[in-house]
Amino acid sequence: MSLAILAALLVLASPSLYGDDNYAELLRAGAADTRQGKYDNAVIEYKLALKSRPGSPEALNNLAVAYYQIRRYTEAYNAVAGIWENHPELKSAALIAGLAAVQCNRPKDAIAPLERLVAADPVNRDALLGLASARFALRDYSQAIEIYKRETNRSPKDEMAWYGLAVCLESMAENSSKKLAAMPGGSAYSKRLLAEYLQSTGDKKLAAEAFGASTGEGNASPEVVSQYASARQLADQSRDAFEHFVALAPDSWQAAVFFGDVARQHGDLLAALAQYQKAAAARIESPAPDLGLGTVYWEMGDFDRAATCLRKVLERNPQAMQAVFELANIAVRQHAETAAIPLLKRYLKEQPDALAAHADLGRAYFHLGQYANAAEELQKAALIDQQGEIHYQLSVALRKLGRVQEADTAMAESAVIRKSRSERDRRLHEAR
C-alpha cells in the first residue's frame, strides 16, 4: 500500500474521550511511526494502547494495518476479525480483514468483509481487486471476471485489473479445453484447438502435425462445436487481456513472467529462464516466478534446481497443482516412489482426468512391484502413450498378475506405437 492509502486506514482518538491516560497519545505515536515505515515500533505502541483499552476497535484496526505492512498477515487478520462486522464505520478493518485473508490463503474468509466494503464503497479499488482475487482462489472465475471487467471499464489503465482478468480467462479457457477433450467426439476439436495454439506460438511443424490429427470433425455434435467455440473465444480473450496488461506495465515482474511463458511456449528455454529470473529478482510474494523457473529447469532436465524452485512455490501456495505434478514427476524419475505417490494422489484428487499423472502413478507403483495398482493406473494413461513405454510396462504388470492375453495385447500395441514413433521421427528429420 502507498503511504497515502496507509494514512487513510489509520484511526486516531481524541484525548478528551479517554481521560488522562496515554491511550490517545500511544495511538498518535503509533500512527506517526506507521507513516514513517517504523512498523515494529508501531506494533509495540498499539499493543500498549490495547493494554490500556482492551478490545479497542481503533487500536486493533491500526495494529492490523501495521501487521499487514510487515507481511504478518495472520496476525493482521486476527486483529480485525472480531471487529469489522460490529464497526461498519471502520471500513479499513473490513479491508484489512479481507486482504489479509487473501494473503493467508483463506479466500472464503475474505469474501464477507470485502463484499460489505464494496457494497458501501463500490469504487474502492483495493477492495474490488481483493474480492476478485478471493473469487479466483475459490475458482469462481465468472464472478472474478465480472469484478475485473468492472474495474477495467472504470479505469482502463489499471494494469493489475487487466492482469487479473487475463489470469481468470486463461483458467476458464483451460477448463473449457479439458471439457472439450472429454466430450464424446470432442477429441478432434481438442486437437484442432491445440493446433491453433501451436500455430499462434510459431511452432509450425507441431501445429501441422496437430492439424493432421484433428480428423473426424464432420461427425461432431452441435454441443462439441459450441464447446470448441467457447474454448477458443476464452483463449483469445485471455491473450488480449495479457497484451493490454503488458502494454501498460512492460517492465513489471508480471510482464516478465508473461514473456517467459511465451518464450517457453516457443521452445526458447534460455530466453524463458532469463525472463523468469528477472521476475524473481523483484523479490515479490507471488510464487509465479519460481513456478516459471521450476518448470523451465524441469523441461531442461535439471531436476534438482527444478525441485528447489517448486518447493518454494508450494511453501507460498500449497494449492499450486502444477508444482505438485512437476515435483511428483521428478520424484518418479529419480525413483523416489514413496515421495511421488502421495503427491500424485493429491494432484489427481484435484485433476482426476490428468492422464499424465495417472501414467506417473502407474510407473511409481510399477517400480515398487505393486502390479495391480500399476496396471489400473497405466490402463487409464494408455491413450497418451507416444513412446510405447506405458503399454510395455502395462504388459509386464499384467503378465505378473497372470493376465497373459491382456499382456500380449498391450505388448503388441507397444510395438505399433514404437514403429509409428520411429517413422514420425524419420519424417521430421527429412523435413529439416
* pLDDT of res. 16: 43
Q: Do 110 and 98 contact (CB within 8 A), yes or no?
A: yes
Q: pLDDT tens digits, residue range 332-345?
A: 999 999 999 999 99
- The DSSP element (H or E) to which 276 belongs, if any, is helix 269-280
Q: Do 341 and 367 contact (CB within 8 A), yes or no?
A: no
Question: Rounded distance, CA 294 to CA 272, Å?
Answer: 11
Question: Rounded distance, CA 77 to CA 60, Å?
Answer: 10
CA distances from 34 to 1, 37, 208, 224, 239 (A): 12, 5, 59, 57, 40
Q: Amino acid letter at 248? A: L
Q: Do 232 and 221 contact (CB within 8 A), yes or no?
A: no
* pLDDT of res. 283: 80
**What parts of the chain have a pLDDT lower than 70?**
1-21, 185, 187, 193-220, 424-432
Q: Do 181 and 172 contact (CB within 8 A), yes or no?
A: no
Domains of the chain: 3-138 (1.25.40.10), 145-250 (no CATH), 319-432 (1.25.40.10)
Closest CA to 134 of 149, 155, 120, 148: 148
**Which stretches of 225-356 are assigned E, i.e. beta strand?**
none
| Three-point CA angle 117, 118, 120, nearest 5° | 65
Q: Do 377 and 362 contact (CB within 8 A), yes or no?
A: yes
Q: Which long-range contacts (CB under 8 A, 24 or more apart) does 392-400 make?
A: 393/362, 393/363, 393/366, 394/362, 396/366, 396/371, 397/366, 397/371, 397/372, 398/371, 400/371
Q: What is the dihedral of CA 72, 76, 79, 85, to 10 degrees?
A: -160
* pLDDT of res. 14: 46
Q: pLDDT tens digits, residue range 28-66?
A: 999 899 889 999 999 999 999 999 899 999 999 999 999
Read off the pTM.
0.70
Question: Rounded distance, CA 349 to CA 343, Å?
Answer: 10
Record the cell numbers describing residue 293, joined without a space: 523457473
Residue that is written with C-alpha cell 455434435 in the block: 221
